[in-house]
Amino acid sequence: MYRTATFYYFSGTGNTKALAEAAGEALSQQGTAITLRDVANHHEYCPAALIGVFFPVYCFGAPRIIVNFVRSLPPGEGKAAIVVANAAGTAGPAHAAVARALSQKGYHVKLADWVRMPNNYIVFSEADVDSKAAGIVAAGRAKVAELLAALGDAPSTLPHYSRFGPLALAHRMFLFGLNYMGRHYRANDACTGCGACVTMCPTQCIALDSDARPRWKAGCEHCMRCVNFCPEAAIEFGRFTKGKKRYTYWMDKTKGALRHESCS
C-alpha cells in the first residue's frame, strides 16, 4: 500500500518505542519499507510515502519535543500521516492536537488514535509492576497492529480538537512548567556517581559535577527515564517519588536502544 514509511517517536521509558516497532512490523508485513526515528537522537526529516508520529501523552498533550518536531516538518503537500499516542489512562485531546497540527501543515491524516500502555508517571500515581505491565504492553502492541492493518479502509476524519478546552489548557500549563522542572530533581545518598543518568537522558540535560553528583540543567522533558531507570533508584522528583516503586519494565532494553540512525 505504501512503498516507504518513516515512523518518528519519542519514548521516555520504552512504551512508545515498543508501539512504533509493532506498527512497523505490521506495515512491513504488507510490503512497506520502514524507517524508525527517535526524535531525541536526530531531527532531520526522512522522506517517505507515509509518516507516523508516536508519543507518550504528557498531561493530556504531546511532549514538547514532539510539538517542536511537528512544527519543524516540511509542508505535507497531501502526504499521508498517522498519529499514535499512548497513555496510562486518559489521553484527552493529545492525538487530536497533533493530528490537527499535521493537517494544518498540509498532511493527509489517515489515523489519529491512542493506545493504553503501562504507567510510568510516579509523581502523582504509582507505576505498573512488571507482571501487570507485560499484559498491558502485549494488548497495546496488538491494538496498534490492528489499527495499522485497517489503515487502508480507515475513513480519514480528524478527531475534534479545541485549543481552549480545559485539558488543552492544562497541557499548555505543563509545557510552561517544563522551564522550571530541572530544579526539582536531586540524587539522594544512594547515588554511586556511576553517570548512567547522564548517558541515558534523551536531552542531555544531566551533568555530573566535580564530586560526581548529578546536576539538572535546562531542557528536561520530564520523561521520567532517569527517575525510573537509575540503577540505585536514587533520583527523586521533589517529595513526590520518595519510597515509590519505579517503572522498570523496559529498563535494560531501552538504554541500549539509544542509538543514532542515519537517513537512508
Ligand X SMILES: Cc1cc2nc3c(=O)[nH]c(=O)nc-3n(C[C@H](O)[C@H](O)[C@H](O)COP(=O)(O)O)c2cc1C
Could you tell me the three cell numbers for 233? 533508584
Q: Of residues 152, 177, 195, 238, which one binds ligand SF4 by CB under 6 A?
A: 195
Q: Does the protein bind ligand SF4 through residue 220 (CB under 6 A)?
A: yes
Q: Which one of ligand SF4, ligand X, none is in contact with 135 (Cβ closer than 5 to 8 A by kind)?
A: none
C-beta of residue 69 within 8 angstroms of C-beta of residue 9? no
C-beta of residue 102 within 8 angstroms of C-beta of residue 70? yes
Q: Of residues 49, 194, 257, 258, which one binds ligand SF4 by CB under 6 A?
A: 194
C-beta of residue 151 within 8 angstroms of C-beta of residue 111? yes
Closest CA to 137 of 258, 249, 10: 249
Q: Does the protein bind ligand X through residue 117 (CB under 6 A)?
A: yes
Residues in the chain: 264
Judged by CB under 6 A, the stretch of 17-25, 131-139, 145-153, 214-222 that binds ligand SF4 is 214-222
Judged by CB under 6 A, the stretch of 53-61, 95-103, 149-157, 190-198 that binds ligand X is 53-61
Please say which residue, 57 or 101, places its beta carbon nearer to ligand X: 57
Question: How many residues bind to ligand X according to rule CB under 6 A?
Answer: 24
What count of other Cβ atoms lies within 10 Å of the Cβ of residue 256? 7
The interface with ligand SF4 within residues 229-248 (CB under 6 A) comprises 230-232, 234-235
DSSP 155: -
Number of helical H runs and strand E runs in the chain: 8, 9
Question: DSSP string of 166-196?
Answer: HHHHHHHHHHHHGGGGGGGEEE-TT-----H
| AA letter at 235 | I
Q: Which one of ligand X, ligand SF4, none is in contact with 51 (Cβ closer than 5 to 8 A by kind)?
A: none
Q: Does the protein bind ligand X through residue 11 (CB under 6 A)?
A: yes
Judged by CB under 6 A, the stretch of 86-94, 95-103, 219-227, 246-254 that binds ligand SF4 is 219-227
Q: Of residues 58, 107, 216, 229, which one binds ligand X by CB under 6 A?
A: 58
What is the distance between the alpha carbons of residues 216 and 204, in angstroms, rounded to a whole number? 9
Q: Does the protein bind ligand SF4 through residue 59 (CB under 6 A)?
A: no
CA distances, 179 to each of 68, 167, 176, 186 (Å): 15, 20, 6, 16
Q: Does the protein bind ligand X through residue 13 (CB under 6 A)?
A: yes
Q: Does the protein bind ligand X through residue 120 (CB under 6 A)?
A: yes
Q: Does the protein bind ligand SF4 through residue 60 (CB under 6 A)?
A: no
What is the distance between the alpha carbons of residues 40 and 47, in angstroms, rounded to a whole number? 18
Q: Of residues 2, 7, 15, 235, which one binds ligand X by CB under 6 A?
A: 15
C-beta of residue 94 within 8 angstroms of C-beta of residue 64? no
Q: Of residues 5, 8, 16, 235, which one binds ligand X by CB under 6 A?
A: 16
Please say which residue, 105 or 244, places its beta carbon nearer to ligand X: 244
Closest CA to 238 of 154, 180, 196: 180
Q: Which residues bind ligand SF4 (CB under 6 A)?
A: 12, 187, 191-197, 201-203, 205-206, 214, 216, 220-226, 230-232, 234-235
Name the residues that contact ligand X, by CB under 6 A. 11-16, 56-60, 86-90, 117-121, 222-224
